[in-house]
Chain A
Amino acid sequence: METYNLTGKLLKFIVYALILLTTLFLTLPIVFTILGSFSKYWGESMFGSGVTLDWYKYVFQYYGHTIGLTLLITFLTVLINVFIGSMAAYSIAMSRFSHSKWMKVVEELLTLPAAVPGIAIGLALAQSFPVMRSSGVLILIGHVIFTFPLMFRAVTGAIRSTDLRSIDECAQALGAGPFRRFFTVIFPAIRVSVFSGAINVFMTSLGEFNITFFLYTPSLMTFPVGMYESYASLRIEVGSAFTTLFLALAIPLSYILNRLNKSKVK
């Protein structure tokens, strides 16, 4: 009994130590990235040489355009997917054949981009449409395709979980056409799911690297590609400032998403 107790205690200690180490491993680098972005010189002591905002100035001066381009692509990606994603989800989830085998296949096909690695999509797009590359439209298309399943799943889930079919049929019986029904009846009813899908799309598009890396040109660099370049060739303080700017966008967004998911569960 004595030895059993001892091994039990030892086991508990190991478990707690492991959890502590993992937590430190996951959170410390984020803290140090934020601290380091304000450090004049990242050396043995973080602020031994003083505090500065120079690295942020540097990032804005040389990489400001990457942030602008990414915000543009990301906003367009969200906008396009709010429309085509929720409309496709509506017509498929509402269809009389919604539970038929064929519709399942269509649904499976439309969620496929979530399961195909970004590098395969990126390479496929790059070699299929080389002429479109310089316009930047290919990056946008890549982002729309890649994030489509996020919106599509959010909306099909919402339509199926609430009894929207009878409401839809009711509106139809009263003479409303499909567009009117979609925009005035269905869309307002599923807006929370569309919103959480939109944030999910926004975050994924914002950080997308694998597809974009096969499609960008030096004049059309996105935020993550810019970050990659700063990691590969610039000081660690610049990389930290760049990353902190990304975190400043990502942390509030994932907080909102968390809240939305929790409120949906309730």
Chain B
Amino acid sequence: MKGKFTKVSFVLPTMILFTLFFFFPLILLALKSFSGEGGFTPENYILIVTNKRYFQAMINSLMLSTIVTVTSILIGAIIAFFLARTDFKGKNLFITLITFPVSLPGVVVGFMIIILFGTTGVIPMFTKMITGEALGAIAYTITGIFFAYLYFSIPKTVMILYGAVVEFDPRLEEAARTVGANEQQAIFKVVIPTLAPVFVSAASIAFSTSMSAFGTAFTLANQFEILPILMYTEYTNYFNIEIASTMAIVVAVVSLVLNLFSRSLMEKG
């Protein structure tokens, strides 16, 4: 009896903390998203699809996340394969360098884009020096946000893909080469199909991170409306708590589903 009690006391603080400050608030958030003048109603969910501004923000978020995901998978795959197949001095340092941005907060990622593409950023100053005209000051536009999202999703994608590509059994590829496939064929017909689950998993992570990223976009964008930004404005500027909760739930569900999906893919592989 006493032993049971002590065992429970090991998990008890965690249980209390999670129930009170994680599950309860999230349930409240979900209830809020279903509340309206008529009590329990799905009207907020209908509104974010029918209201032009809300719907546009949702489309913007989905488009941005899709483009960021595709681009970072492409670049990430190229870098991962390059790293797995080439040996050079300082390779470990190189990997550390290009994956370091993973540990930066979203706001700092936003600032990195200001440093590169802000009005007095590196690129505009450099082009001014060469051509006499400042070009590429795109930090505060949608292109700026796109680059900012690439800034954190490329390193993440490289990390996930590199681990898998390194562990990939090269004998499979050699077998393909012996039966007459050239390097490209071997990559596209053998390596990529085998690694497909990891690619899909990396893509889901990139997509969900882009959908739910807030700090980065908040540092850069006031002109461009995406779901997390609009959710914050609805909450603080208009006290529209129901709509803000609805948007938060939508983002959370997308992120949760993709995260679990990615985990199950990785565990199978």
At the interface with chain B, which of A52-60, A115-123, A159-167?
A115-123
- Taking a contact as CB atoms under 8 Å apart, the answer to whether B215 and A213 are in contact is yes
Partner of A210 from the list B7, B111, B122, B214 (CB cut-off 8 Å) is B214
User: Within 8 Å CB of A123, what residues of B?
Assistant: 29, 231, 235, 244-245, 248
Name the residue on A nearest B263 (C-beta).
A115
At the interface with chain A, which of B41-49, B96-104, B173-181, B194-202?
B96-104
Contact of A76 with B by CB under 8 A = no
Contact of B193 with A by CB under 8 A = no
Name the residue on B nearest A15 (C-beta).
B78
Contact of A154 with B by CB under 8 A = no
Q: Bound complex: CA of A75 vs CA of B108, how far in Å?
A: 21
- Taking a contact as CB atoms under 8 Å apart, the answer to whether B241 and A127 are in contact is yes
User: Within 8 Å CB of B3, what residues of A?
Assistant: 177-178
Query: How many residues of A are in contact with the other chain, CB < 8 A?
Result: 76
Contact of B6 with A by CB under 8 A = yes
Assuming the contacts A91-B11, A123-B248, asked whether A28 and B155 have C-beta atoms less than 8 A apart, the reply is no
Interface secondary structure of B, over-half rule: helix
- Taking a contact as CB atoms under 8 Å apart, the answer to whether B6 and A179 are in contact is yes
User: Within 8 Å CB of A18, what residues of B?
Assistant: 75, 78
A84-138 interface with B by 8 A CB criterion:
84-85, 87-88, 90-92, 95, 109-110, 112-121, 123-125, 127-129
Query: How many residues of B are in contact with the other chain, CB < 8 A?
Result: 72
Residues of A within 8 A of B (CB): 15, 18-19, 22-23, 25-30, 32-33, 36, 42-44, 83-85, 87-88, 90-92, 95, 109-110, 112-121, 123-125, 127-129, 141-142, 144-145, 148, 177-179, 182, 203, 207-210, 213-214, 224, 227-228, 231-232, 236, 239-240, 243, 246, 250-251, 253-255, 258
Q: List 25 A-B contacts (CB under 8 A).
A: A15-B82, A23-B98, A25-B116, A30-B112, A42-B120, A43-B120, A43-B125, A44-B128, A117-B212, A117-B214, A117-B251, A117-B252, A117-B255, A118-B214, A123-B231, A123-B235, A123-B245, A129-B21, A178-B10, A209-B214, A213-B232, A224-B215, A231-B219, A251-B100, A253-B103
